[in-house]
């Protein structure tokens, strides 16, 4: 009886401590999500809101700008994420090398881009690739080009530069995850592999990759989620241009809400399209990761 009362007392105090956080999560996360979904089923503004059902979702498939934003995001996703994660894995393997000197300095330098403000990093790269930027200056000095190139005004080059910026910023972030995973692997496994005659490449592909599979799956899902919500870099570097060749879904939501005539209902529907894509891709990645 005494133990039951004690258990009940702990349970009550546990809920007492959890309740404030749960309340904040509900108010700041779940309530806005539900409100956004309800808004996505409506059209109009303020007191003129009217229920339109799934019309906003049907409109997505007829909206050329939305379709362009989805195509752009998937280009970034398919090209940038694999490159970034592979580079992060290579860097983590190098930083985990036991004979490497000045590990702390290298780790700090690799992680430093992630600590840079998004707007700052975007503006720095924008100045690098401007007509009078350091990239054109270097290419002109080395006579690789005869006249300055407007990098961010070219549909293809603008995408490549955005991919470069995202990779530069987030590779170090993922490197930390892989480095933590590598440090949890028993060194005796690699020692046994070396004794059996396994080469460094065989150790990497036969041992490191399989043992890091849960971490790789985690970083893949996080990177996919982040890329689908890409906003700051594109907004500050190209503003979605030229035309809609670099616009992302998040920037289109911003434009629908604050740049064009406010269309909050349709913007909410576009927002939920990101949620649906993230959920589908995460489910597929988890299923593939479980089978690998």
As a whole number, mean pLDDT of residues 26-32 equals 88
**How far is Cα 276 from Cα 57, in angstroms, rounded to an integer?**
12
pLDDT at 118: 86
Average pLDDT over every residue of 50-73? 92
pLDDT value at residue 6: 61
Arithmetic mean of pLDDT over the chain: 88
Q: What would the pLDDT profile of 161-215 be if each residue is shown by its tens digit?
A: 999 999 999 999 999 999 999 888 888 888 888 888 888 888 888 888 888 998 9
pTM: 0.88
% of the chain surpassing 70 pLDDT: 95
Closest CA to 180 of 215, 218, 223: 215
Distance of CA 193 to the CA centre of its chain: 35
Q: On the CB side of 277, how many CA atoms lie within 13 Å of its CA?
A: 18
pLDDT surpasses 60 at 2: no
8 A C-beta contact, residue 151 and residue 157: yes
pLDDT of amino acid 89: 92
SS3 of residue 1 by DSSP: coil
pLDDT of residue 188: 85
Distance between CA 237 and CA 118 in Å, rounded? 11
Give the tens place of pLDDT for each residue, 237-266. Answer: 999 989 899 999 999 999 999 988 888 999
pLDDT of residue 175: 94
Domain ranges of the chain: 63-291
Report residue 86's pLDDT band, with 50, 70 and 90 as the boundaries.
very high
pLDDT tens digits, residue range 95-126? 888 778 888 888 888 888 988 888 888 999 99
**Secondary-structure breakdown of the chain: helix, strand, coil percentages, each rounded to the nearest 5:** 75, 0, 20
Q: Which sign does the torsion angle of CA 12, 14, 17, 18 carry?
A: negative
Q: Are 253 and 273 in contact (CB under 8 A)?
A: no
- Report the topology of domain 63-291: MetI-like fold (1.10.3720)
pLDDT for the residue numbered 10:
67
Decide if pLDDT at 219 tops 60: yes
Euclidean distance between CA atoms 109 and 123, whole angstroms: 20
């Amino acid at each position: 009886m005494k133990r039951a009362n004690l258990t009940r007392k702990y349970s009550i105090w546990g809920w007492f401590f959890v309740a404030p956080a749960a309340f904040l999560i509900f108010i700041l996360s779940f309530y806005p999500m539900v409100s956004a979904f309800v808004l996505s089923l409506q059209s109009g503004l303020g007191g003129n809101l009217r229920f339109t059902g799934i019309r906003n979702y049907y409109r997505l498939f007829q909206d050329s700008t939305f379709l362009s934003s989805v195509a752009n995001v998937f280009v970034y996703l398919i090209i940038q994420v694999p490159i970034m994660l592979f580079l992060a894995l290579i860097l983590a393997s190098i930083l985990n090398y036991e004979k490497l000197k000045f590990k702390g300095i290298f780790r700090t330098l690799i992680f430093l881009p992630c600590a840079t403000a998004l707007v700052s990093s975007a503006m720095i790269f924008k100045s690098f690739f401007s007509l009078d930027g350091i990239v054109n200056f270097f290419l002109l000095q080395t006579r690789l080009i005869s006249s300055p190139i407007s990098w961010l005004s070219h549909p293809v080059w603008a995408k490549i530069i955005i991919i470069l910026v995202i990779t530069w910023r987030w590779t170090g972030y993922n490197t930390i995850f892989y480095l933590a995973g590598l440090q949890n692997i028993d060194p005796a496994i690699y020692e046994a592999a070396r004794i059996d005659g396994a080469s460094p490449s065989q150790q990497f592909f036969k041992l490191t990759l399989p043992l890091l599979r849960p971490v790789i799956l985690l970083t893949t899902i996080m990177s996919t989620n982040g890329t689908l919500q890409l906003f700051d870099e594109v907004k500050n570097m190209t503003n979605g241009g030229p035309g809609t060749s670099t616009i992302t879904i998040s920037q289109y939501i911003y434009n629908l809400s604050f740049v064009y005539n406010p269309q909050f209902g349709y913007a909410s529907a576009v927002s939920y399209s990101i949620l649906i894509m993230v959920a589908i891709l995460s489910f597929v990645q988890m299923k593939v990761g479980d089978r690998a």
